[in-house]
Amino acid sequence: MVAMKSSKIMKMSVLIILILLLTAGCVERVDNIYGSSGLGASPITPWSDQKILPQIDGSAYVHPQASVIGAVSIGKNVMVSPMASIRGDEGMPIHIGDDSNVQDGVVIHALETADEEQKPVENNLVEVAGKKYAVYVGNRVSLAHQSQVHGPARIGNDTFVGMQAFVFKSKVGNNVVLEPGVRIVGVTIPDGRYVPLGSIVSNQSMADHLPVITDDYVFKNLNKGVIHVNTNLAAGYNSLSGKASTSSGHGE
């Protein structure tokens, strides 16, 4: 009888220890996912002799499961969602303007902007207000789920880039709508135009003849609502994490 009781006690003790170990492991894994930061410096390479950290305004929110690396500047009230990747380690710098959002799974990267003698590769840069960038995303821009912007590229103010859209070696104007799944390569999209669902625009003649956004266009005001939601999400997540909404150098 005593032996049976001892055996039961031993089994219960082992079970309790296993539960404690599993719980500790789960807590550790959760903490690794939600308590760590995806921010990092760019490495020293033949084209860059500096480790460059992102510059993130204190009112922006970068989810711990997002990745922001290197020469990246992120403006006020920006929301960077889980699994987004903004990587300023090859083409640099990358700029994300105020009140914009970088949604789940978005990729922003660029071709090299300096050679191995660290001289500028001018063809891989875009100029905005006298400054040069690998990728420039303006103010109040929405980059929807899984879209890609690969520099050299410029996205103008108040523009919506739809789900799984792709922009490469292009300049997209102000107040533009890129509907989901479009491909924009090597062109300039004029202000106030929209690119229909799934279109491929790869020559300037096509870009110049894109339809104009009119009052009856179904997505005319879509971006305003997306901006409203995401700027409030940025503020809400900052509040949830106890982060003060103030400007800072490195942020997060």
Three-state SS string across 126-191, please?
A: EEECCEEECEEECCCCEECCCCEEEEEEEECCCCEECCCCEEEEEEECCCCEECCCCEEECCEECC
| Averaged confidence pLDDT in the chain | 89
d(CA 224, CA 45): 40
| Contact (Cβ atoms closer than 8 angstroms) between residue 165 and residue 180 | yes
Mean of pLDDT values over 170-192: 98
What tens digit of pLDDT does each residue of 28-87 get?
443 443 445 699 999 999 999 999 999 999 999 999 999 999 999 999 999 999 999 999
For 198, residues 6+ apart whose C-beta sits below 8 A from its C-beta are 179, 180, 181, 182
Structure tokens, 183: 């491909």
What tens digit of pLDDT does each residue of 100-137 get?
999 999 999 999 999 999 999 999 999 999 999 999 99
| Contact (Cβ atoms closer than 8 angstroms) between residue 96 and residue 79 | no
What tens digit of pLDDT does each residue of 215-230 get?
999 999 999 999 999 9
Q: Which residue has the tokens 């840069």?
A: 125
Instruction: Please report, rounded to a whole number, the percentage of residues in the chain having pLDDT higher than 90.
Output: 80
Q: Which residue has the tokens 């980059």?
A: 143
Which H/E stretch holds residue 195?
A: strand 194-195
Structure tokens, 239: 């509040």
d(CA 218, CA 209): 19
Question: What is residue 243's predicted lDDT score, i.e. its pLDDT?
Answer: 75
Instruction: Determine the residue type at 153.
Output: A
Number of other residues whose CB lies within 10 A of the CB of residue 198: 13
Structure tokens, 212: 């104009």
Instruction: Tell whether the torsion through CA atoms of 198, 203, 207 and 211 is positive or negative.
Output: negative
> Catalytic residue numbers?
90, 112
Nearest to 188 by CA among 180, 199, 176: 176
What tens digit of pLDDT does each residue of 225-245 get?
999 999 999 999 999 988 765
Question: What is residue 26's predicted lDDT score, i.e. its pLDDT?
Answer: 45
